[in-house]
Amino acid sequence: MSVTTQNPGRGSSETARLLSTVDPGRRRTDRVMQVLIYIAFGLAMIPLGWLIFTVVAQGADRISLDFLFQSMRNIFGGDPRGGIYHAILGTVVITALATVISVPIGILTAIYLVEYGKGWLARSVTFFVDVMTGIPSIVAGLFAFSLFALIFGPAVRIGVMGAVALSVLMIPVVVRSCEEMLKLVPNELREASYALGVPKWLTIVKVVLRTSVAGLTTGVLLAIARVIGETAPLLVTVGVTDSINANAFDGRMMTLPVFAYRQYSQGNAPCPGGDTATCVSDIASQNAWGAALVLIAMVLALNLIGRLITRWFAPKLG
Amino acid sequence: MTTTVSPPAKSSRRRRSGNTDRGFNRVFRWIAVGAGATILAVLAAVALFLISEAWPAITASPEELAAGVPRYPEDTSLLAYLGPLVFGTVLAAVLALVLAVPVAMGIALFISHYAPRRLSQVLGALVDLLAAIPSVIYGLWGFFVLAPVLTPFWTWLNENLGWFPLWGGQVSPTGRSMATVGVVLAIMILPIITAVSREVFLQTPKLHEEAALALGATRWEVIRTAVLPFGRSGVISASMLGLGRALGETMAVLMILSPGFTYTLDILAAGQHQTIAAYIAADFPESTGLGVNTLIAAGLALFVITLAVNMTARWVVARRKDFSGAN
Amino acid sequence: MERLVNLSRFTRAGSAVAVGALALSLAACGSDPEPAGSTGDETTEASEDMEGGLSGTLSGGGASSQEAAMNAWRAGFQQANPDATVNYDPVGSGGGRTGFGDGSYKFAGSDAALDDEELAAAEAQCGEGGVIEFPGYVSPVAVAFNLEGVDSLNMGPETIANIFLGEITSWDDEAIAADNPDADLPSTPITVVHRSDESGTTENFEEYLYTVAPDIWTAEPSGVWPVDGQESAQGTSGVVGAAQAGEGTITYADASQVGDLGTVAVGVGGDFVEYSAEAAAEVVAQSPRTEGTSEYVYTIDLDRDIAGTYPIVLVSYSLACTTYDDEETAELVKGFLGYVASEEGQQAASDAAGSAPLSDTIRQAIMPGIESISAG
């Protein structure tokens, strides 16, 4: 640090002490703020841990092979049989469809922004992608409903409507994360490719995309994790059913979040003779927690896989 | 792998003529531009389709609406009808924001300036997990677990600090009030505020921080004098992004709040407020005809509000290009 | 030199894709189970004596109040006719009546009888006099409360109306104490919990108060609760949950769902009657049939003041036509509604949803209508 003029009246140890300490008031403030900041972080971790613990504690008992691989067809009242297979299937189909719609548009837009983007179009695309990340999910659902209602009439409820709604939410997330990943590709690679006479599109496909594929995968997985738990847009678009339906273009579909919500709102079943093997009065909330556990496991797994992919496969740059 | 590149490379070399934008190059460029334009088209389509489906409700007379929509009171214009909903929506979002911003800034500072470097990424990911948890699970947790826990605290606030405008009225014995919703929403918007603020704090010029340290500043003084002033606009826009999220949150509100349609600040009381998003989700399944149009009109209002908030936030961010890496 | 690393980066990137693909295919793997589908095959409690050979898909919709009973009916019918599928959209009574009128629902459920205009629309669909309407689902609505140590209270109609209006605010109010000399009433404040969604239960409860306490309860009955600023929750389970969560709460809800909440014995005809499926069935059986309707339209004018009956009942109607365009639909509606109206179907609903079984008088009046359903 700076050179201090030695005061002959004091010992050097005293100088060192003065230099290395601050006055108590400032030090107290510093300590208090440090504690507050640590507490802030703790405050955020409390609900995370509490919530995950609750879901696991409440849902774990309900999980069984039957629960995972059976539907709710012909199950009613306090019947403890049945499961969430139709909801898992619906979630997978609708999310996959949303991914199929969003990923090409998202990655190509990211390519456009990073490799070609200039001028007002690029600026407005960047701006509106950001704005789009803030569209409320229920509005996305209403949009999909309006779109399909104009074509098929107001009674239409099919899986692809949900996929369209989810795409509106998913596209901006894909664009943002892929854009970041493409920007990480060093320009030397592109220039080297051009120097070899490789056309630009081939450079993008073979060099830029290849280099960033791990990051792109992560981005897509995180985007999927983001929309897989969406409830509100599906509530207004795909309807509900208790049977298995894998066809997103015909008929209602059940999805995990909607299933959890429906079971939550079903309440207790009347069991005249008390709880028995065939009638469990709080089976609906058990089902809701079970579905919540499966859903949260899916989301956490996607997040984990996504982050591990970056960690393991990301190009070490710089 | 790279050898497969050569044949097309040769061909492109053959017709090098100054203009490289030829053949498939041009096609590919147009595909990319098209994808970018699609984004704008989608956003426009969202607005257009919402308007087209909301139009019957916007143009209907109050009498028609009262006849066609179950909840609709007599002699009320659509705006007056949506008023309490907008109020409830904004109240919920502002409450969440007030609770979340200080904590989020603390977390952002913790990750950017206090936590060990090696851990900071992991800790950031942990906070982001809060955003990954589906909102329906927040709803379950809020209803079954959090609301009963908070109720005694709300009662205490009401009994001891009831003079404060927000804490008046009769406390809901179930805890299914706006205050509980505010807490849950605050948890849900923590990650986005944290993420954006964190990026901004990390971009504080090292020289500023080192200058402060050289003057003998403590760690907190460095933050107060160098980091916070630099990150102010970033924090503001982060908060607005959080506000946008909170405005549009549906399931947690739907499952926790005991709804009502009044203008009141008694956030501890039940049956006073409702948000637009939760209102739509609650009434949509059993609506027909004009009822659906009215719900979509409410959705349009929500869309316009969130769009305005998000655009302002992004505009603030965009003005300071340094922050463009944030979120 | 440094760039040589890129080669290995490419291969690593390749394996990243492989991992991603693996993750996706794993997810696909999980969606391919062995015996997915109906789980009811092993237990066929449903009748054997029903005409078991029906097939096809039948779609109806309407009142969500009927959903629990409808689930039982659908399950019973589908188990007896494994090739048949019955769908019921709980879109609300209004949606059900509209859908029935424009033909998109082949049968419908509604908490209110068709009005003249709707009947005209339905007759345009079904043909003159071709509408079948009967109270397939009758459910007692309990006035339930959560008060430590109190299981049952007597309340007259005026007291109930005043409580739900917010005029009586404390459990030890004289009006309550007067009817319950033996009860140990605390001074806990009363918290009213009502349905936040539009519902037939609300409309019915309001109609009850409007009929029996017209001086106190002046709001015109509609599906939406008229008093502002009270605690509310969505759906029957929502209000019951809210009532259970708070001390001193009172609500009205489908009686089968009130669980361990205390219930009110309602003052009727000078006496206090606890809710029961029998007492609820009784009020429907004793109330007169609406006059001047066509042959198969069996609607009732509920009489809320018959001694010994439970007056707060939700009467939800089943709607169908006597003629349909195609044979398959006609047979399905005939079979399904026949099951719904049968003793067995009513019992299934009673077990699942706590509803009051249809009386023999009504069954005898409407069975010929259901029998006559045909194509053409």
**Among the partner residues B39, B103, B109, nearest to A125 by beta-carbon distance:** B39
Contacts of B108 (CB under 8 A, 6+ apart): B193, B194, B197, B198, B201
Contacts of C257 in chain A (CB under 8 A): 267-268, 270
The Cα–Cα gap between A193 and B8 comes to 12
Supply the DSSP string of C124-135, one letter for each residue. Answer: HHH-TT-EEEEE
Chain B's closest residue to C238, CA to CA, is B255
The Cα–Cα gap between B301 and B289 comes to 19
Is C293 in a helix, a strand, or coil? coil
Please indicate if any CB of chain A lies within 8 Å of the CB of C346: no
Q: What's the start-to-end Cα distance of chain A, in Å? A: 30
The Cα–Cα gap between B238 and C62 comes to 45
pLDDT, residue A309, reads 87
Task: Give the closest residue to C249 by CA, choosing from B153, B175, B157.
Answer: B175
The interface pTM score, or ipTM, of the predicted complex is 0.87
Task: List the beta bridge partners of residue C323.
Answer: C374
Length of chain C: 376
> Residue B227: which CATH number?
1.10.3720.10
What is the tens place of the pLDDT at every residue in A244-292? Answer: 888 888 888 899 999 999 888 887 777 766 777 778 888 888 999 999 9
Please indicate if any CB of chain A lies within 8 Å of the CB of B249: yes
The Cα–Cα gap between A98 and A224 comes to 9
Please indicate if any CB of chain A lies within 8 Å of the CB of C259: yes
pLDDT(C212) > 80: yes
Supply the DSSP string of B109-145, one letter for each residue. Answer: HIIIIIS-HHHHHHHHHHHHHHHHS-HHHHHHHIIII
The Cα–Cα gap between C21 and C32 comes to 17
Contacts of C95 in chain B (CB under 8 A): 286-288
Q: Where are the domains of chain A?
A: 19-60, 65-313
Please indicate if any CB of chain B lies within 8 Å of the CB of C152: no
Chain mean position to CA B269: 25
Rounded to 5°, angle at Cα C198 from C193 and C202: 55
Instruction: Report the gap between the CA of A249 and the closest CA in chain C (Å).
Output: 17
Chains linked to B by 3 or more Cβ pairs within 8 Å: A, C
Instruction: Report the gap between the CA of C20 and the closest CA in chain A (Å).
Output: 7
As given in the structure block, the two tokens for residue B74 are: 């007599």
**Among the partner residues A2, A26, A202, nearest to B218 by beta-carbon distance:** A26
Of B150 and A239, the structure prediction assigns the larger pLDDT to: B150
Q: Write the burial class of residue B10 (CB in 10 Å: 0-12 exposed, 13-18 middle, 19+ buried).
A: exposed
What is the tens place of the pLDDT at every residue in A22-38? Answer: 678 888 899 999 999 99
DSSP C82: T
Chain B's closest residue to A170, CA to CA, is B39
Chain mean position to CA B110: 23
Q: Do B262 and C191 lie within an 8 Å CB cutoff?
A: no
pLDDT, residue A54, reads 95
Q: Work out whether the CA dihedral C243, C249, C251, C253 comes out positive or negative.
A: positive
B35 lies in a domain? Answer: no
pLDDT, residue A9, reads 52
Contacts of C227 (CB under 8 A, 6+ apart): C164, C165, C166, C192, C194, C219
Contacts of A113 in chain B (CB under 8 A): 36
Cα→Cα distances A3→A7, A10, A19, B209, Å: 12, 16, 11, 20
Contacts of A229 in chain B (CB under 8 A): 132-137
The Cα–Cα gap between A234 and A241 comes to 12
Task: Return the residue in A74, A196, A238 with the most chain C beta carbons within 10 A, the one to mutate for interface testing.
Answer: A74
Helix (H) or strand (E) holding B58: helix B23-59
Looking at residues B85-101, what average pLDDT do you find? 95
Contacts of C245 in chain B (CB under 8 A): 147-148, 173-176
Please indicate if any CB of chain A lies within 8 Å of the CB of B25: yes
The Cα–Cα gap between C258 and C244 comes to 9
Chain B's closest residue to C230, CA to CA, is B271
**Among the partner residues A68, A76, A305, nearest to C352 by beta-carbon distance:** A76
**Among the partner residues A132, A146, A149, nearest to B39 by beta-carbon distance:** A132
Please indicate if any CB of chain C lies within 8 Å of the CB of A26: no
pLDDT, residue C223, reads 80
Q: Is C302 left (phi over 0), alpha (psi -120 to 50) or beta?
A: beta
Task: List the beta bridge partners of residue C150.
Answer: C147
What is the tens place of the pLDDT at every residue in C365-376? Answer: 888 889 888 887
Q: Do A34 and B220 lie within an 8 Å CB cutoff?
A: yes
The Cα–Cα gap between B38 and B45 comes to 10
Please indicate if any CB of chain A lies within 8 Å of the CB of C289: no
Of C23 and C175, the structure prediction assigns the larger pLDDT to: C175
Task: List the beta bridge partners of residue B199.
Answer: none
Structural domain of B89: 60-323
pLDDT, residue C278, reads 84
Q: Are strands C107-110 and C152-155 parallel, antiparallel or unpaired?
A: unpaired
B121-B127-B131-B133 Cα dihedral, nearest 10 degrees: 110
**Number of domains comprising chain B:** 1
What is the tens place of the pLDDT at every residue in C83-134? Answer: 888 888 888 888 888 888 888 888 999 988 888 888 888 888 888 778 899 9
pLDDT(B142) > 90: yes
Chain A's closest residue to B53, CA to CA, is A146
Q: Are strands C107-110 and C55-62 parallel, antiparallel or unpaired?
A: parallel
pLDDT(A314) > 60: yes
The Cα–Cα gap between C353 and C138 comes to 10
Q: Is B222 left (phi over 0), alpha (psi -120 to 50) or beta?
A: alpha
Chain mean position to CA C250: 20
Q: Is C29 left (phi over 0), alpha (psi -120 to 50) or beta?
A: alpha
Q: What is the pTM of this model?
A: 0.85
DSSP C150: B
Q: Do C33 and A85 lie within an 8 Å CB cutoff?
A: yes
Contacts of C162 (CB under 8 A, 6+ apart): C168, C175, C216
**Among the partner residues B172, B264, B288, nearest to C95 by beta-carbon distance:** B288
Please indicate if any CB of chain A lies within 8 Å of the CB of C26: no
Q: Is A206 within 8 Å of B9 (Cβ atoms)?
A: no
Task: List the beta bridge partners of residue C264.
Answer: C153
Q: Do C232 and B285 lie within an 8 Å CB cutoff?
A: no
* Mean pLDDT rounded to a whole number for chain A: 87
Contacts of B238 (CB under 8 A, 6+ apart): B104, B192, B193, B195, B196, B197, B200, B313, B326
What is the tens place of the pLDDT at every residue in C132-171? Answer: 999 999 888 999 999 988 888 999 999 999 999 999 999 9
pLDDT, residue C42, reads 37
Instruction: Report the gap between the CA of B103 and the closest CA in chain A (Å).
Output: 5
B151 lies in a domain? Answer: yes
Chain mean position to CA A137: 13
The angle, 0 to 180 degrees and rounded to 10, between the axes of the packed helices A159-183 and A137-152 is 130
The Cα–Cα gap between C60 and C71 comes to 12
B150 lies in a domain? Answer: yes
Instruction: Report the gap between the CA of B117 and the closest CA in chain A (Å).
Output: 15
Please indicate if any CB of chain B lies within 8 Å of the CB of C246: yes
Task: Give the closest residue to C166 by CA, choosing from C221, C211, C216.
Answer: C216
Length of chain A: 318
Looking at residues C217-245, what average pLDDT do you find? 85
Q: Which CATH superfamily is domain A65-313 in?
A: MetI-like (1.10.3720.10)
